Amino acid sequence: MALEHAILVSLLEKPGSGYELARRFERSIGYFWTATHQQIYRVLKRMENDGWIDVRDVPQQGRPDKKEYSVADLGRAALSSWLQDPIEPESVRHDLAVKIRGAAFDDPTSLIREVERHRQAHRDRLAHYLAGEARDFTPEASTAGPDGPLDAERELQHVVLRGGIAYERMMIGWLDDVLATLARFGPAR
């Protein structure tokens, strides 16, 4: 389980509320770890009980009040310990690949549309990542800002983003290959 650890990393980068965390999991952290607000609130509660994080009630004007969480010493230690633990290369689950092999036993025309849809989704994500890279990681967008992270933190965020970019490019190329294969073998049957 790494949701707790993903939350710890995010809170170390910047303290925030459950709601804010949920939004980060739709954006930057979501590039490599997804979580819904339901999961996040539940885990935050557990982490608070375990003394991993501290809460601070923040009254707000013009908005509902929020609880701002930050990492406690115990949480930092838990993260550190997890970082030392070796993990196994992750197991994959690609519904689309199941469908592609299943297409041999069914009419593939609907699969072609599905693959095109996925290719477009990956193109959109790639464009989104590239825009984020241009915005946050060009030499001009330096760490000089008031909230800008330190060099190492920033570089590590960048290399993870580059991984997302490489992944989307690979997927687009592969889905092109899939479509070419379906075009050659699908209708000919």
Partner DNA sequence: CCTGACATGTAAGGAGTTACATGATTAA
Partner DNA sequence: TTAATCATGTAACTCCTTACATGTCAGG
Q: Contact positions toward DNA, by CB under 7 A? A: 1, 3, 17-20, 22-23, 34-39, 41-42, 44-45, 60-67, 91, 93
Residues 22-51 that bind a copy of itself (CB under 8 A): 31-34
Please enumerate in sequence order all residues whose Cβ is within 8 A of that of 77, keeping only pairs 6 or more positions apart, or say none: none
Q: Which is nearer to DNA, 18 or 75 (CB)?
A: 18
10 Å CB burial of residue 1 (0-12, 13-18, 19+) is: exposed
Q: Is 13 in the site for a copy of itself (CB under 8 A)?
A: yes
Q: Is 76 in the site for a copy of itself (CB under 8 A)?
A: yes
70 binds, among a copy of itself, DNA, none (CB under 5 to 8 A by kind): none
52 neighbors 4 (Cβ within 8 angstroms) = yes
32 binds, among DNA, a copy of itself, none (CB under 5 to 8 A by kind): a copy of itself
Q: Which is nearer to DNA, 33 or 137 (CB)?
A: 33
β-pair partners for 54: 70
Cα distance between residue 148 and residue 141, in whole Å? 9
Cα distance between residue 185 and residue 149, in whole Å? 51
Gyration radius of the chain over CA positions: 21
**77, two tokens:** 């230690």
**43, two tokens:** 């885990």
136 binds, among DNA, a copy of itself, none (CB under 5 to 8 A by kind): none
Residues 103-132 that bind a copy of itself (CB under 8 A): 103-106, 110-111, 114, 117-118, 121-122, 125
